Amino acid sequence: MDLIQNVLAVIVVLGLLVTFHEFGHFWVARRCGVKVLRFSVGFGKPIWSRFDRHGTEFALAAIPLGGYVKMLDEREGHVDPSQLDQAFNRKSVWARIAIVAAGPLANFLLALVAYWALFVAGTTTVVPVVGQVVPDSPAFEAGLQPDQEITAVQGQSVRSWDEVNLKLVAVIGLNGELTVTTRDEGSSRASTHRLQVEDWLVGQDPPEPLATLGVVPWRPELPAVIARVVDGDPADEAGLQAGDRVLSVDGQAVADWPALVQLVRAKPGQTLSLEVEREGQHRTLGLTPRASALEDGSSIGYIGAEVAPVDWPQKWQREIRYGPLEAVGQAASRTADMTLLTFDAVRKMVIGLISPSNLSGPITIARIAGDTARSGLESFVSFLAYLSISLGVLNLLPIPVLDGGHLLYYFIEAVRGRAVSERTQAAGLRIGLAVVGTLMIMALYFDLMRLW
């Protein structure tokens, strides 16, 4: 069932993103007087199509992993002399730049609209209150205390743990001082803590900023009650069911969910004896956690079970909501911040500050799409916005075969006054295909490693 939900979720997500991206190209091309021959969502043989009054074919193809807009172009076939003025290659360089750039810009616009809708509807976040501080950690040395609320990171205000993590990830590679501002419960007085870091989060896969600082977020007590088991994973094979309360593991009492997680992670591949309570009856089950490999060669146990949710105290919840006009500015700011963060992440990956193992392919995207869809509309829309930004950034990279590569050629043409030679473009195409192909293989490889 989870697999079907993941597949459906990723088809919906990619379908929306591709449609908006290609519609950006299509809409601007029409405005620039270029004849569009086909607007296709998906690749391969069309399973549905129709023509409009302009002669454009709108098609839905069998492979839902992309799309394209095919325009009239002398470089791709014969063009009737009466239609030469509608050919893409006959348009000015600035018109071609506008048409190519419209696709990524449409993705940024989609993200802005998604964030606007979230801000208008209101989002409920968790107040970033410190639960525990690990002894001898950077946070401990800087004087952070339990029950303090984090209000700013590097001088930039934060209102939730999501924002805290984003600000911390944004300074990957930092050497020196990381400033965290806090305030005590019931107080308005701010305290600034200066944490000394070196090669901040460099090489971590995935980055774990809070754990690296030694900060454990405050959480309500989580009893070891299972909400859901993943089909085919060890918890399912052992016979665990939703509603089961785990009482002990190998005779050791389990106080709460984190304690259960710690015991499971510590014994990959070892058969454990679980005592569980189900409908008032005690049962004993044998459970063998599956080994999940880490980057350092070690492994941890994984069983494929989710904890039952608990209610958060009202004082630790915060609703972020804006009026329709104010939400426009907030959405634009969030879109800009996420775009700059994504560009910076690409830069840091190129220079080695971020491990390439953080690349995600279709398997990871499908899993996250399914998880966010099950978590609710708010999570799903937020993921859609982030993925739309990622697609826009990816397409703007100056790699031939991507929109960014075409824009690079056209900007060179605008400066030089003449087009880049066909020979140079052909060589660039081969290089671009090799780069993109390599990235796709790497992303799929890391997807499979996460899956295993």
Q: Which are the catalytic amino acids?
A: 22
**Strand stretches in 81-198, DSSP E:** 123-126, 130-133, 149-153, 156-157, 176-183, 190-197
Close Cβ partners of 11 (under 8 Å, ≥ 6 residues apart)? 64
Indicate the angle between helix axes 362-375 and 2-31, nearest 10 degrees.
Answer: 100
Cβ–Cβ < 8 Å for 24, 103: yes
Collapsing DSSP states into helix, strand and coil, what is residue 226? strand
φ and ψ of 242, to 5 deg: -60, 135
Of 209, 121, 116, give the one whose Cα is nearest residue 158: 209
- Report residue 271 as tokens: 């058969």
Cβ–Cβ < 8 Å for 172, 201: yes
Bond into 289 cis (ω within 30): no
Torsion of CA 384, 386, 391, 393, to 10 degrees: 160
User: How far apart, in Å, do the first and last CA atoms of the chain sit?
Assistant: 19
Measure Cα distances from 370 to 308, 351, 387, 391 in Å: 18, 32, 14, 19
Helices vs strands, H then E, count in the chain: 12, 18
CA dist 144 and 129 (Å) reads 11
Close Cβ partners of 4 (under 8 Å, ≥ 6 residues apart)? none
Cβ–Cβ < 8 Å for 140, 212: no
Q: Residue 300 belongs to what H/E stretch?
A: strand 299-302
Measure Cα distances from 363 to 249, 281, 444 in Å: 33, 39, 7
For tokens 């606007």, name the residue. 116
For tokens 């060589």, name the residue. 427
Of 362, 405, 403, give the one whose Cα is nearest residue 13: 362
CA dist 123 and 379 (Å) reads 10
